[in-house]
Structure 1
Amino acid sequence: MSRPLVVAAHGTASPEGQAVVRGCADRAAAALGMPLPAVVGYVDVCGPTLDEVLADVTDPVVVPFFLASGYHVRHDVPSALEEVPGSTLTPALGAADEVVDALVDRVREADAEADAVLVVGAGSSVDAARAEVARVAELVGSRVGADTATAFLSGPGPRAACALTALRIAGHTRVVLATHLLSPGYFATKARRVAEAGGAVATGPLGTHDLLRDLVVRRYREAVAESSGHSHAEGVPLP
């Protein structure tokens, strides 16, 4: 019997945002041919919590549905697995090829002739997490042939509105604000408003893209292959 797939997500008060996470998890489970749906647990804002869903599964493979390895990925998710025998924790989505390809698709859909791309993330207090977003921006820029910048909607680092203004001052007239977010909600709305105020085009969140489903599937399969029945402490390490 296949091991349960548990998708660990941040959480959002937006029902639409929750539906995006649920939809990606369900499509991943279907692609894996699982007899039961995937399980979704949240670490903040809404329920069911990750702790709650882990109490009801055996030998789960937990995929952190996060685009960067900030505090939740490095602390909250692993802590939830400490008392779950036989669990395996995969890396987060991070700067995987699927994420970059999905964001490139979104940018090209928004404006195939963009002369600048501003990749905007939610923000994190963890330096390495912000560096992951910057790496994605670099890779996207090389693919679309446009200047790129990175900004955030909270926490340390460049602010999105200021970064957009700087691109305008530098002479860029066709700027795409590439939303480095997974689902609709507070930050996606904030990103869209920044884009509208600055005369830019904002892309939609990435969670509905088929490549994100493919990445969850890949994380699961690699974890099962590498863990060989070991616990999460001996299985796939965090990035």
Structure 2
Amino acid sequence: MPREVMIHPLAPAGEPIPLVLVAHGSRDPRAQASTRALARGVAAARPGLDVRSAFLELAEPTPAQVLSALRAGGAPAPIVVPVLLTRAYHGRVDLPAQVAGFDCAIADTLGTVSEPLLAGLVRRLREACPEYDAVVLAAAGTSVASGRATVAGVAAELGRRLGVPCEVAYASAGGPGGADAVAALRAAGARRVAAAAYFLAPGRLYDTVMSDALQAGAVGAAAPLGAARELVRLVLAAADAAAPQLALTAA
């Protein structure tokens, strides 16, 4: 990707505003490693920027620990970027509760339909499976209607971009599961169904839904977005959009 040239917004003291990338967290160490790799990619795209990782649960450091360390070190108020693909419970409730009492701005989640998100999903899919006539968009799952609508919207746009049918599959929250989605597409006439990954990092839910799809006959399963250059772009765009919140707070 072209090197990011936008200068990150400055705090009143002239220092770059730090970024705190907050992911869900997992018992699977691959998930934390993926988030830290993304943080390194964001820092590389904006040299001199202080980018840190935090996790809502199942791993440390927590957002409060990172924000406390920044405050103790005299850093400017940071921008907190939720490394989440839907604005469900963790984005709407959990994260704001965990950063309550700290001077910071919270960016939007990363899953809204956008060119970088679609490009990242397509690239990961083609890396895993260059030929297919239908696609399953595999996601973690949520019981929140707005979150499910987000995933459905991304699936619709992904199908339009690829020119093939696209069905959503969930690892949890009541399905349809990976096998259900593959079966529905095959019943409609598809012969080579591939699974795209609406996941930021590997872990139990990713493994569950992808295994389900492959066992049902999917011809390939894409890797999570991870530290993809497209995700780096999304993080920086979300941070830039949230920066005015800090200016309003300081005014």
Structure 2: runs of 5+ lacking an equivalent? 1-14, 72-76
Q: Does 1:129 align with 2:143?
A: no
Q: Does 1:53 align with 2:66?
A: yes
Q: Does 1:142 align with 2:156?
A: no
Contact 1:43 1:50 in 2 (8 A): yes
2:236 aligned partner: 217
- Once residues 173 and 229 of structure 2 are traced to their aligned partners in structure 1, the CA distance between those partners, rounded to angstroms, is 30
- Measured after TM superposition, the shift of residue 81 of structure 1 is 2.4
- Once residues 78 and 29 of structure 1 are traced to their aligned partners in structure 2, the CA distance between those partners, rounded to angstroms, is 24
- Measured after TM superposition, the shift of residue 111 of structure 1 is 3.0
- Once residues 231 and 161 of structure 1 are traced to their aligned partners in structure 2, the CA distance between those partners, rounded to angstroms, is 49
Contact 2:165 2:185 in 1 (8 A): no
1:15 aligned partner: 29
2:74 aligned partner: none
- Bigger shift: 61-70 or 187-196? 187-196
Aligned positions of 1:7-156 closer than 5 A: 7-36=21-50, 38-58=51-71, 59-85=77-103, 87-95=104-112, 96-156=114-174
**RMSD, aligned CA:** 1.8
- Once residues 153 and 226 of structure 2 are traced to their aligned partners in structure 1, the CA distance between those partners, rounded to angstroms, is 19
Q: Does 1:202 align with 2:221?
A: yes
What SS does structure 2 have at the residue aligned with 1:229?
helix
Aligned positions of 1:173-192 closer than 5 A: 173-192=191-210
- Measured after TM superposition, the shift of residue 35 of structure 1 is 4.9
- Once residues 66 and 231 of structure 1 are traced to their aligned partners in structure 2, the CA distance between those partners, rounded to angstroms, is 25
What SS does structure 1 have at the residue aligned with 2:248?
coil
- Measured after TM superposition, the shift of residue 83 of structure 1 is 0.2
- Once residues 204 and 210 of structure 2 are traced to their aligned partners in structure 1, the CA distance between those partners, rounded to angstroms, is 10
- Measured after TM superposition, the shift of residue 228 of structure 1 is 4.9
- Once residues 109 and 139 of structure 1 are traced to their aligned partners in structure 2, the CA distance between those partners, rounded to angstroms, is 19
Partner residue of 1:172 out of 172, 175, 190: 190
**Under a length normalisation based on structure 1, what TM-score does the superposition of the two structures give?**
0.90
What SS does structure 1 have at the residue aligned with 2:197?
strand
- Measured after TM superposition, the shift of residue 100 of structure 1 is 1.3
Contact 2:17 2:49 in 1 (8 A): no
The size of the alignment, in residue pairs, is 230
Partner residue of 1:159 out of 177, 189, 193: 177
Contact 2:133 2:191 in 1 (8 A): yes
Contact 1:191 1:202 in 2 (8 A): no
- Bigger shift: 13-22 or 27-36? 27-36
Contact 1:5 1:29 in 2 (8 A): no
- Once residues 151 and 163 of structure 2 are traced to their aligned partners in structure 1, the CA distance between those partners, rounded to angstroms, is 18
Query: Counterpart of 1:139 in structure 2: which amino acid?
Result: E
- Bigger shift: 127-136 or 214-223? 214-223
- Once residues 211 and 4 of structure 1 are traced to their aligned partners in structure 2, the CA distance between those partners, rounded to angstroms, is 20
- Once residues 17 and 177 of structure 2 are traced to their aligned partners in structure 1, the CA distance between those partners, rounded to angstroms, is 42
Contact 2:31 2:201 in 1 (8 A): yes
- Measured after TM superposition, the shift of residue 27 of structure 1 is 1.3
Contact 1:51 1:80 in 2 (8 A): yes
- Once residues 189 and 160 of structure 1 are traced to their aligned partners in structure 2, the CA distance between those partners, rounded to angstroms, is 11
Contact 1:61 1:223 in 2 (8 A): yes
